[in-house]
Structure 1
Amino acid sequence: MGAQLRVYRQKINSTKSMGKLFKAMELIATSRISKARSRVAASLPYANAITRAVSAVASQTEIDHPLTTEPEQVRRAAVLIMSSDRGLAGAYSTSVIKQAEQLHELLRSEGKEVKAYLVGNKAEQYYQFRDRPFERSWLGNTDAPVFETAREIGATLLEDFATAYEENGVDEIHIVYTRFQSMVVQEPTVIRLLPLEVVDEEADAGSELLPLYEFEPETEQVLDALLPRYIESRIFAAMLQAAASELAARQKAMKSASDNADDLVDKYTRLSNTARQAEITQELSEIVAGADSLNAS
């Protein structure tokens, strides 16, 4: 009986230690989510401005630019998957990888080859464990992304998009990331990045007319300058959304784990008290039986 008490006490102590760790990680995620949401909001003015500029160029001119023209045949597609570097975030990475797998199946059913580009250690581990090929990966700072990474990703994708199919190039580019809607809801999302689909997510396109521009130099040169920056801004916006979603998912997961640890401590405490009471009862029974035996003799 004493051994059972020691087991329960060890479980109580270890569960309390884990509960403190979960609580600390919950507080860290809670403190960082505000900054992540602020970065998402701060990125909107620039993203909206460049979206309007690209929309104006694309809608007011009739040119044959490779970034805005649909190819006659799409034979190979690039898929950029944004996961997390660390775990303990619930089903965050699992959900986005599952969404990417559904996209892969859809593209393959349409007769397209798929090239994977990965952001985050979890996506890389998923591909390596299954011995599946991927073109390139970017690791580090998934919960606090930097623009230099978005610029590098954009340059890599644009280079492959500009490369011919026969030279291992791609005909279209998709991004799979988690859109931050609230602290409770984070939604895995797929967007097609190229060929360009100009979408202003914050403004209703029919609510106001786009301004009329006069372009100097030529329109093609304006697009050559604007579109790479537009792609970088879209990628960085997706990374910021994913970072806020990761922190929100981690905060929720750690709160649930902390609550479960408290419940386990209460459960083990009750079992320990029951075992202790049983031990005391047994000792009293043995004392009474011994006294009765002495009196009888």
Structure 2
Amino acid sequence: MSATSAPARGDTLSAASGAIPAARRRRRLPFSPWHLVLIPASVALLFPFAWLLITSVETSPEALHFPPILIPHTIRFANYSDALSSAPFVHWLLNSAVVAVVTVLCNLVLCTLAGYAFARFRFLGRTALFAVIMATLMVPFQVTMIPWFVITKWLGVHVLAGVGINHIGALILPNAATAFGVFFMRQFFRTLPLEYEESARVDGASRLTVLIRIVLPLATPPLATLAALTFLDSWNNFLWPLIAVTSTNQMTLPLGLATFQGAHATNWPLLMAGNVMSLIPMLVVFFVAQRYFIRSVAATGLAGT
């Protein structure tokens, strides 16, 4: 008994002595010291946004001054009204909203149906087809933009003019469904127990009824995450609208903001004011959907491929 009790007392004393410095460190610093790394990282990430806000309320001489003036002498909020009046800003904003909302709705419908089919249905060539879809994620846009342009132009001439070049539909159709959306929804559906669906099928429900009434109510986090990510990607898209749209009336907001930059001079305060106003919808979408991000990513990451 004495041989076994001595090490036990030693372990207790060592644990107590080790707990005292830890308690002292916790009393001095209420968080892990590794969290101190986040402070310079946060400053580095927030500094461009702070510079954006400061430049949006400066005068043109202050915006062009070097070194940069981080505390403007005169706060000029008129830059925002000037940005709205000097260009069809509201029209570009509406075009971006239409393109983003319709793209989100198309992705939610098409990616959900495709992801559910890959997760639940067994058909010939399912694995090969899914591998091909995943392989498209590794193809850069610079490779596919010319085929996109040719196909979109052909559809506008032979099928429907509204989806052709220089129309808003040309900005929606190529992004109506994405490989990432299909993969994201498939991974979530694979985490759902089959018992929910099998019991409904026994009661006579069809596959579509099971999907709408049972599966989709459980898929709120991944649907919200997919909607937010698709909205942000569509809202910030610049290169494809630059290729597919030539008319000022059909421009989206990122493409329209580029018109503030001239060949010889750029009105930086107006450009920054327009960028600040374009950030507001994205911030709203992010803060509304942020509580679904971690839950959905954690759920979709549990299932194997």
TM-score w.r.t. the length of structure 1 is 0.26
The answer to which structure has the higher strand fraction is 1
TM-score w.r.t. the length of structure 2 is 0.26
**Relative contact order, CA 8 A, sep 6+: which one is greater?**
1
Larger Rg over CA atoms: 1
The answer to which structure has the higher helix fraction is 2
